[in-house]
Structure 1
């Protein structure tokens, strides 16, 4: 069964004075159906790994969540459609939206919307620190890193807001995410309530996620949000920590986050490590395949040599019996001998005019539709021992059938000077004793 481990580090984060081994995490383990199998808060990496080991879990996919303010949301209006051109144009398309040198920023591209491509921008050094933090865990392999707020379930046409202590995470249906202090929630609500100048006033749906205690603690700020006539607020009380909500939303595709593990931080090389367990078997199979091919080639060469030897022996025997025959070779010796045996069975060894005419006439009479075959002329050369018949038929196939029948009798039969006409085909049939 496939498992996903959602891990969210708690402050202090990498880059501070804290040791990596002392880093604390909130975490949730989901099975293939999306049900939570285990979760914890404020645990170290070692404690999480021990939990996986106790449950005999290996190859678990790790999803790392980083603070939303670590990555900036941008939009890139790029007309190109090919991936190579999009990647080339991406830095220039978002350069004005980023307040630092574009070369020091890692850009990850997401889905395309009617406003352009969604892009996440994060400092290269910070991204390197996060990748290092989530790598080299036992029993897991890193699959993706997301800004935490980007995993909030989308509210169609509006915003999702999750309150977590003194921090508030926000995500819009356009893919934008933010992380602000809870004391600024009321001020941000006023920004949501202010419509753009070109739009008519309409309600903006807002879904508030928080625990019952947090709803009570921030009652004044939440009341300010509800008092706006343009905001349609819906409250959802969380029984567990926000990480459970985000893991559920991601597993069930209720959000569209941008995976930061792209480009130089792509995990394709790590994913190819899944083949590591199969490498010994692949190596053995490859060696076996090479050996098998070598054996097949060796056996083929051996049998070819044996066949050459047998053919040479057969020709030697034939030459001893018929030393004056220079036309017979290893390729036709069997057919020639068979023809001579046929002649002996017919009562003689004569392959002269009479015998050739007898065989030709016999094969002619056996053909179906023989009445459509016309023998225009017959010539015999005693010097060459050849019978030449000028034949006309309604199709070339009948000429070929006549030739094949004579060849089956052990005779040399060839058709030459074939001419295709509207009424059929004509040619010259040459028959000899083989």
Structure 2
């Protein structure tokens, strides 16, 4: 189950870059189902980290909330849609809305609306201080930094106001936010109640959030909000601190804030991967696999070379003994040698008429049993050691089978003067000792 930790620093040490360990925080811990599991007010960072540790929580998503007046809301009218071109044009599109050198301002891009892109602008040095304050907490990793007022629930067509002591947070449905002194809310209400010449005069809905004690203390203020007559004010009571309202709205997507952790302040590179604890084992396994494949390939190449060398040696020995034989190769040398050995064992070195006739008769018996094969005449030349047989068969395949059988016995058999007739094939079979 994933947890999300919302932390909101308290003044005066919040984000000043000095003695950050002494900074106090209001905080609330939400689980994945949206239930608050723990909260605290005015606690040190070490106390919050200890709470996470005691509950055995790791890799908790941390959301940092900074005062709303630290960041300025702008609208950038940029016709481009590709993020690369939008980021290039962004500084020029909001430069006139910012009262300081644009080079010293960090710009964060939000949603695209009909008016243009929503943009949050914050001083670059201040953003670096806030990032340092929220980054590197034990048992958690920074997910986002938001202006606190931007997390108020959106009131369609109007404004949301949250009372928090002497200050008040405000946000509109256009996405803009601001923080001000509670005493100035009445003057701001008069501004809201004065419509522009283009607008149709209607009541502007305003939802005010606060505890019952806040409402009791701010009776006069609430009276000012309702006085103009063009504001439809509705009160929503809070049982606990305003931070829980902000966390609830963010967790349930009731607001559309702009994450300030973008571009050079992005924290995506620090996002923990679920495979991170296994990375060393994966690396070892990958190295072992590569080494194993290399060894297997090397052994295969080595054995292939050994086999080729043995074949070459065998053919070299055979060529020395039978220099005139050009038909024998490494693929059939074993069969030829075995045939020659059988022949040598049966007939000795001299192939006389009886021996040649013996082997020819044996093959004739095998071939004739499967088809018609006829010997018309038999001649033997003692000087050449050849047996010449005038043979007739149904097809040339029968003649070829007879010759192949003799060759398989290690003899030199050839068929010549082949004549294909209507009754079959006729040829001259010449057999010698090889």
Measured against the shorter chain, the TM-score band is 0.7 to 0.9
Q: Shift in Å at residue 14 of structure 1?
A: 4.1
Given the alignment, which residue of 341, 358, 375 partners 2:396? 358
- The equivalent residue for 1:47 is 47
Which stretch of the first structure deviates more once superposed, 213-222 or 316-325? 316-325
**What are structure 1's unaligned runs of at least 5 residues?**
364-382, 390-434
Describe the shift of the 1:209–1:14 C-alpha distance in structure 2 as closer, same or farther (beyond 3 A).
Answer: closer
The equivalences for 1:249-260 within 5 A come to: 249-260=249-260
3-state SS in 1 of match to 2:196: coil
3-state SS in 1 of match to 2:271: helix
3-state SS in 1 of match to 2:112: strand
- The equivalent residue for 1:128 is 128
> What are the Cα deviations for residues 175-209 of structure 1, in whole angstroms up to 9, with x where unaligned?
11111110011111112222221121122221111
Quick check: 1:307 aligned with 2:307? yes
3-state SS in 1 of match to 2:199: coil
Residue pair 1:12, 1:18 contacting (<8 A) in 2 also: no
Describe the shift of the 1:322–1:260 C-alpha distance in structure 2 as closer, same or farther (beyond 3 A).
Answer: same
Q: Shift in Å at residue 317 of structure 1?
A: 6.8
3-state SS in 2 of match to 1:56: coil
Larger Rg: 2
**What are structure 2's unaligned runs of at least 5 residues?**
343-358, 368-386, 402-413, 421-434
Q: Shift in Å at residue 286 of structure 1?
A: 2.3
TM score, norm. by length of structure 1: 0.76
Describe the shift of the 1:359–1:337 C-alpha distance in structure 2 as closer, same or farther (beyond 3 A).
Answer: farther
The equivalences for 1:303-342 within 5 A come to: 303-312=303-312, 315-316=315-316, 319=319, 323-330=323-330
Q: Shift in Å at residue 111 of structure 1?
A: 1.0
- The equivalent residue for 1:79 is 79
3-state SS in 1 of match to 2:235: strand
Describe the shift of the 1:91–1:359 C-alpha distance in structure 2 as closer, same or farther (beyond 3 A).
Answer: same
Aligned residues: 370
Q: Shift in Å at residue 279 of structure 1?
A: 3.0
Partner Cα separation in structure 2 for residue 72 and residue 355 of structure 1: 106
> What are the Cα deviations for residues 348-372 of structure 1, in whole angstroms up to 9, with x where unaligned?
9999997895229999xxxxxxxxx
Partner Cα separation in structure 2 for residue 79 and residue 145 of structure 1: 27
> What are the Cα deviations for residues 230-250 of structure 1, in whole angstroms up to 9, with x where unaligned?
222221100011111111111
Describe the shift of the 1:328–1:175 C-alpha distance in structure 2 as closer, same or farther (beyond 3 A).
Answer: farther
3-state SS in 2 of match to 1:301: helix
Describe the shift of the 1:129–1:335 C-alpha distance in structure 2 as closer, same or farther (beyond 3 A).
Answer: farther
Quick check: 1:231 aligned with 2:222? no
3-state SS in 1 of match to 2:288: helix
Which stretch of the first structure deviates more once superposed, 44-53 or 63-72? 44-53
Which stretch of the first structure deviates more once superposed, 184-193 or 115-124? 184-193
Quick check: 1:29 aligned with 2:29? yes
Describe the shift of the 1:329–1:26 C-alpha distance in structure 2 as closer, same or farther (beyond 3 A).
Answer: same
- The equivalent residue for 2:106 is 106
Partner Cα separation in structure 2 for residue 118 and residue 262 of structure 1: 14
Partner Cα separation in structure 1 for residue 72 and residue 214 of structure 2: 27
Which stretch of the first structure deviates more once superposed, 293-302 or 50-59? 293-302
Residue pair 2:80, 2:86 contacting (<8 A) in 1 also: yes
Which stretch of the first structure deviates more once superposed, 190-199 or 47-56? 190-199
Quick check: 1:12 aligned with 2:50? no
Quick check: 1:268 aligned with 2:306? no
3-state SS in 2 of match to 1:224: helix
3-state SS in 1 of match to 2:133: helix
Residue pair 1:351, 1:385 contacting (<8 A) in 2 also: no
3-state SS in 2 of match to 1:99: coil
Partner Cα separation in structure 2 for residue 21 and residue 10 of structure 1: 13
Residue pair 1:226, 1:232 contacting (<8 A) in 2 also: yes
Partner Cα separation in structure 2 for residue 119 and residue 2 of structure 1: 29
Residue pair 2:13, 2:19 contacting (<8 A) in 1 also: no
Quick check: 1:63 aligned with 2:63? yes
Residue pair 1:353, 1:387 contacting (<8 A) in 2 also: no
Residue pair 1:166, 1:181 contacting (<8 A) in 2 also: yes
Residue pair 2:17, 2:133 contacting (<8 A) in 1 also: no
- The equivalent residue for 1:380 is none
Q: Shift in Å at residue 292 of structure 1?
A: 1.6
> What are the Cα deviations for residues 344-393 of structure 1, in whole angstroms up to 9, with x where unaligned?
88549999997895229999xxxxxxxxxxxxxxxxxxx9979999xxxx
Which stretch of the first structure deviates more once superposed, 171-180 or 272-281? 272-281
Q: Shift in Å at residue 60 of structure 1?
A: 1.0
